[in-house]
Structure 1
Amino acid sequence: MDAFTTAIFQAGGTVVSTLLLRHYRELGMTNTEFLIYLQLKSFADKGVDFPPTDAIANSLSLSDGAIFQQLHGMISKHLMQIKTIQQPDGLTRDSYDFTQLYEKLAQYVANQQAKSVDTQGATDREQIFQQIEAEFGRPLSPMEMETISKWIDVEHYPTPLIQLALKEAVLNQKYSLRYIERILISWQKKGIKTPEAAQRENESWRAQRTRSGQQQSGNNPNLKDVPNIPLFNIGDQPYQE
């Protein structure tokens, strides 16, 4: 084994979160502070929780005073802490603790996810507005927009369900938000929460209606074809314009 390979194995390795590597700047950490963090983590990975500042200074070609100032800045920005640990023999030892840094990272991720959800929600809302306007052949009124927003924000109807309810309303030539809402309420009462479940319910209802129509036609040859009607119970019949 050559000298280089021996040195690589003896030095060991330091694992750094890719998430932190990509977003440390968003957490308020400078490039120099991140390099200091890497140095401290490399020592911690070897079991040295509180390395001397001159060891860090030599690695980064900085003075001890500069390293001290950087560490103080990291503490002020709540990127790390110096903790004193009580040992079993009664003595104490200090260690660098980066719990606060990862708490900031976790909060950053949560905020980004919340922004993503808000953006998607706004996109879905606008898409529903546009689809209903296209099917109704007219712009929505402010009151109608408020009603649709209530479906999304208060009733929490999934966007795909609203779109499917709109499709059912159009198939039955009922261009009314009240009609769409009654479909949604009907599905909600039946515990239907996904478009797939609603589609299965629709197919089951249509199959049952077809069998019923065939039986009635067999009993009365003069009976005309049963018209297509909405997919809810009579008691839940939607608003008729």
Structure 2
Amino acid sequence: MEYKQLFLTWLEEGSIQLPQMLLSHYSKLSLSETELVLLMQIMAFQQKGIKFPTPEQLAEKMTISSESSVAILRRLLQKNLLAIQEETSKDGIRYEQYSLQPLWETLINKMEQENNSLTVQQTILDEGDLYKAFEQEFGRALSPIEVETLSMWIDQDEQNTMIIKEALKEAVISGKLNFRYIDRILFEWKKKGVKTIEQARSHSEQFRQKQIKPEKMNSSRNNNVPFYNWLEQ
């Protein structure tokens, strides 16, 4: 019977939902473990309907003094990880409550910054690989004009580095390794809405098939496979 009553008491206490993202990244928000636990205690109180727990109430649930609780609350407010809002009840009574919205906004902004940073790093790596691929196929260092053309394809034309590599490959296969030819390939692909490597390869294959058919009668004297001339478009 005592066990059953204990279990019912435990259920009545309820539980709080703590985002995994907060648990994984609280240190990046300059939150200490004590500050995190105090925020969790505020969440727990609010779930029970106590929207503005006192420092004493928070301290009783932790291993800190009331003075420490006050100091921590002040720090959280200064860090803009906690706010105090003034609300009005249905009866017109004004009251204050803690708001955790600044905490969630700061966490979201932090994650966004990290994602943007990773994206920038990946973009730099991709562009570096692209320049190396061109220099390897051309067998020399690229001229300033060629470097500028590559940058234009990426920045102005918003071409994906993988698509540019595929256009380079198409030029190599066709035996027309020059920037004018590659630029024409990219222009045609963009006009046709080509955005993936699969679409680019399928598009090239279709053009090759169209060129091969009319040349079948003369192909017995020439074993070379004809390739599509993008400059004739």
What TM-score do you get using the length of structure 2 for normalisation? Answer: 0.90
Return the offset for 1:40: 0.4
Contact 1:39–1:56 (CA under 8 A) maintained in structure 2? yes
- For 1:12, the equivalent position in structure 2 comes to 14
State the distance in 2 between where 1:113 and 1:209 align: 45
Deviation at 1:175, TM superposition (A): 2.4
Deviation at 1:52, TM superposition (A): 2.2
The within-5 A match list for 1:33-52 is 33-52=35-54
**Percent identical across equivalent pairs?**
30
Deviating more after overlay: 90-99 vs 24-33:
24-33
Question: Which range is displaced more, 2-11 or 134-143?
Answer: 2-11
Q: Offset at 1:226?
A: 7.8
Give CA deviations for 1:50-81 in whole Å, capped at 9, x if unaligned.
12221211122222222112111111111111
Which amino acid in the other structure matches residue 39 of structure 1? Q
Contact 1:202 1:231 in 2 (8 A): no
Alignment of 1:228 with 2:230, yes or no, is: no
Paired residue for 1:141, among 140, 143, 161?
Answer: 143
Number of residues paired by the alignment?
231
Native 8 Å contact 1:43 1:51 kept in 2: yes
1:196 matched residue in structure 2: 198
- Structure with higher RCO (Cα < 8 A, 6+ apart): 1
Q: CA RMSD in A?
A: 2.1
CA apart distance, 1:4: 4.3
Cα distance in 1 between the residues matched to 2:15 and 2:59: 20
Where does structure 2 lack aligned partners over 5 or more consecutive residues?
none
User: TM-score, normalization: structure 1?
Assistant: 0.87
| 1:125–1:149 contact (8 Å) kept in structure 2 | no
* 8 Å Cα contact 1:168/1:230 also seen in 2: no
Segments of 4+ moved more than 6 angstroms: none
Corresponding residue of 2:106: 104
CA contact (8 A) 2:211 2:228 kept: no
Counterpart amino acid of residue 58 in structure 2:
I
Q: SS of the residue aligned with 1:174?
A: coil
Can you give the 5+ residue segments of structure 1 that lack an aligned partner in the other structure? 237-241
